[in-house]
Amino acid sequence: MIILGIDPGSRITGYGIIVKEGNRLIHVDNGAIFTDADKDFSLRLQRIYRGLTEVIERYHPDAVALENIFFAKNVQSALKLGQARGAAIVAGVNAGLPVFEYSALQVKQAVVGHGKSAKVQVQQMLKVLLNLPEVAQEDASDALAVAVCHAHSHQLNALRRQLS
């Protein structure tokens, strides 16, 4: 199973691609889509959508996973983050992919085993779990963490969908 993890942001959207083969997790790629803060916000959303669409076309994932919003510094930030998440979700849905969402607590627990882990702990554990040569860029690392969370959770999600 190929999983695309996404850490949506209005300025930087991270992505991470992993493959789950049995109990093994294999790192394929990670990176970030940068938007120009000087451009109109609608053009920034378009850049996020197009960038993720290119990633989907390149790697043909089986599923998309992203983190739920858990807090924002202010209402305006929350709205922009929500719109960036919407662009990411639409990129997945338009490609015919199932989209899954996880809380920050679930992501940290899946990667480190503790929901209150520091970001540095998550990054170091991802380096070990995915045999990365170095710690990934922050947004890409967050996206990889979401992908790992989905890799550990997808069977439970499939069961939930069958029961509903």
Can you name the CATH fold of 2-163?
A: Nucleotidyltransferase; domain 5 (3.30.420)
17-73 pLDDT, tens digit each: 999 999 899 999 999 999 998 899 999 999 999 999 999 999 999 999 998 876 656
Is 38 marked active-site?
no
Residue in the structure block whose two tokens are 């989905």: 150
Q: List, as one string, the DSSP characters of 20-63.
A: EETTEEEEEEEEEEE--TTS-HHHHHHHHHHHHHHHHHHH--SE
Is 21 marked active-site?
no
The pairing of beta strand 63-67 with beta strand 2-7? parallel
- The answer to whether residue 75 scores a pLDDT higher than 90 is no
- The answer to whether residue 81 scores a pLDDT higher than 90 is no
* Residues 16, 4 contacting (CB under 8 angstroms): yes
- The answer to whether residue 108 scores a pLDDT higher than 80 is yes
Token couple for 93:
């849905």
Is 7 marked active-site?
yes
Q: Which of 7, 36, 57, 101 is catalytic?
A: 7
CA torsion, ordered 118, 48, 36, 122, to nearest 10 deg = 10
Q: Which of 29, 57, 139, 142 is catalytic?
A: 139
Q: Which of 36, 57, 62, 67 is catalytic?
A: 67
Q: Higher model confidence: residue 164 or residue 126?
A: 126
pLDDT value of position 161: 62
Domain range list for the chain: 2-163
pLDDT mean over 64-85: 83
Mean residue pLDDT of the chain comes to: 91
- The answer to whether residue 164 scores a pLDDT higher than 70 is no
pLDDT value of position 68: 86
Q: Higher model confidence: residue 21 or residue 115?
A: 21
Q: Higher model confidence: residue 84 or residue 115?
A: 84
